[in-house]
Structure 1
Amino acid sequence: MKPLVQLLHFGYHQAMSCIFPVAIFGTLALSSAIEIPFLHRYDAILLILLGVQYLMYRSGLETRDEIKVICIFHLIGLMLEIYKVWMGSWSYPESGYTKIFGVPLYSGFMYASVASFMCQIWRRLRMDMTGWPGLTSSVLLGGAIYFNFFTHHFIPDFRWWLTALVFIVFWKTWIIYRVRTITYRMPLTLAFIIVGFFIWSAENIATFFDAWKYPDQHETWKLVSFSKISSWFLLVIISVIIVAQLKHVKASRTTNDSGLN
């Protein structure tokens, strides 16, 4: 009976941490089926998601610091989207007033939803890490991964070399998480793979509801290539590095403030 109780508590916290991603996919699904008068679909999605974020903050589901992290990820994602659309990797074929260089502003929220999940689950499961490689190596690796998303259009794609580096750099890193009074742990690289797979699954849902289209999906919807799992695997690493470093900085400030009092 106890394992079942633990599983239910774990599932509850996972579900609560997914509120914003679920809101995104729910909005995509409804907006593809229901036409909103006087508004382009992309503009309506942006307004709805801004409203969801406001309600989550006002209700206490997200803290001010978490909103800051989400804004950072929105900007990072939007920059990547603009570049990828310019390179023809995918497109947003519908009209909208809130489009920049062919990319709707709501698209950054799809990256920000990963940050929202990371922040929420970190707080809810009282997560910590052991064997963190440190600021220099983690930031350099995260930066190399991010820039590879841009540079592989002009120079060789180093994603598999970077993936190998991930396992080398983080091979001692474990996630510590707590469900009720019991503490568990998991290799960080395994968590990268699991989250990357679920984001790939979510990407299939998003493209099905025309959030964006890959070149081979314009005639009819097709399953997103399995190779995209590796891309999301690497993107999750960037998310974890940023969130972990911000948590570390905040913890250090709290400790210093406590020492001064």
Structure 2
Amino acid sequence: MKPIIQLLHFGYHQAMSCIFPVAIFGTLALSSVIEVPWIHRYDAILLVLLGVQYLMYRSGLETRDEIKVICVFHFIGLVLELYKVWMGSWAYPEPGYTKLLGVPLYSGFMYASVASFMCQVWRRLRMDMTGWPGIASSMLLGGAIYLNFFTHHFIPDFRWWLMALVCIVFWKTWIIYRVRSITYRMPLTLAFIIVGVFIWLAENIATLLGAWKYPDQHESWKLVSFSKISSWFLLVIISVIIVAQLKHVKASRTTNDSH
């Protein structure tokens, strides 16, 4: 009976951590079947997601620090979206007033939702890391991964080399998380893979709902390439590195203030 109770508690915290991603997919789903005559779909999605973020903050579901992380990821994601759309990797074909160079501003929230999940689950499961490689190596690796998303269009794609480097840099790193009074641990790279697969599944749902379209999906919807799992694997690493470093900075600041 105890393992079932533990699983239920774990599932509850995972579900609560997914409130913002679920809000995004719910908005995409509803907006794909319900047309509001006086506002473009992309604009409506942005307004709804801004409202969800405000309500989550006011209700205490997200803290001020978590909102800051989400804003950072919204900017990181939006910059990447602007570049990818410009390069023709995918497109947002519908009209909208809140589009910047062909990219709707709500698109940054899809990246921010990853950060929202990471922040929420970190706090709810009282997560910690052991064997963290340190700020220099982790930030340099995160920067190289982000840069590769831009440079692979005109120089060789180093994603597989970067994935191998991730395994080397983080091979001693384990996630420590707690469900009720019991502590569990998992290799960080395994967590990267699991989250990457789930985001890939979510991406298939998002493209089916018309959030954006890849070039081979303009005629009819097709399954997103399995190679995208590696992209999400690397993106999750960036989110974990940023969240972990911010948590470390906050912990150090709290410790110094207590002395």
Counterparts of 1:147 and 1:217, CA distance in 2: 26
Structure 1 position 258, deviation (Å): 0.2
Name the counterpart of 1:180.
180
Report the secondary structure of 1:183's partner residue.
Answer: strand
The aligned amino acid for 2:129 is: M
Cα deviation per residue 1:208-248 (whole Å; 9 max; x = unaligned)?
00000000000000000000000000000000000000000
Name the counterpart of 2:66.
66
The aligned amino acid for 2:9 is: H
Report the secondary structure of 1:47's partner residue.
Answer: helix
Name the counterpart of 1:107.
107
Name the counterpart of 2:191.
191
Structure 1 position 36, deviation (Å): 1.1
Alignment map for 1:6-85 (pairs within 5 Å): 6-85=6-85
Report the secondary structure of 1:176's partner residue.
Answer: strand
Alignment map for 1:119-134 (pairs within 5 Å): 119-134=119-134
Report the secondary structure of 2:122's partner residue.
Answer: helix
1:89 is aligned to 2:98: no
Runs of 4+ in structure 1 off by over 6 angstroms are none
Counterparts of 2:34 and 2:156, CA distance in 1: 43
Q: What are the ranges of 5 or more consecutive residues in structure 1 without an aligned counterpart? A: none
Name the counterpart of 1:234.
234
Counterparts of 2:38 and 2:58, CA distance in 1: 28
The aligned amino acid for 1:223 is: L
Alignment map for 1:212-227 (pairs within 5 Å): 212-227=212-227
Structure 1 position 2, deviation (Å): 0.1
Counterparts of 1:198 and 1:81, CA distance in 2: 20
Counterparts of 1:38 and 1:133, CA distance in 2: 52
Q: What are the ranges of 5 or more consecutive residues in structure 2 without an aligned counterpart? A: none
Counterparts of 1:165 and 1:192, CA distance in 2: 14
Percent of paired sites with the same residue: 88
Cα deviation per residue 1:98-125 (whole Å; 9 max; x = unaligned)?
0001000000000000000000000000
Counterparts of 1:101 and 1:28, CA distance in 2: 21
Counterparts of 1:228 and 1:24, CA distance in 2: 20
Name the counterpart of 2:256.
256
Counterparts of 1:105 and 1:113, CA distance in 2: 14
Counterparts of 1:100 and 1:4, CA distance in 2: 48
Counterparts of 2:81 and 2:243, CA distance in 1: 21
Counterparts of 1:236 and 1:196, CA distance in 2: 7
Report the secondary structure of 1:36's partner residue.
Answer: coil
Counterparts of 1:250 and 1:37, CA distance in 2: 46
- What TM-score, normalized by structure 2, do the two folds share? 1.00
Counterparts of 1:2 and 1:108, CA distance in 2: 40
The aligned amino acid for 1:190 is: L
Counterparts of 2:247 and 2:117, CA distance in 1: 14
- What TM-score, normalized by structure 1, do the two folds share? 0.99
The aligned amino acid for 1:86 is: W
The aligned amino acid for 2:126 is: R
Structure 1 position 89, deviation (Å): 0.2
Structure 1 position 37, deviation (Å): 2.3
Name the counterpart of 1:247.
247
Structure 1 position 78, deviation (Å): 0.1
Name the counterpart of 1:2.
2
Structure 1 position 170, deviation (Å): 0.0
Name the counterpart of 1:156.
156
Name the counterpart of 1:200.
200
Counterparts of 2:135 and 2:117, CA distance in 1: 22
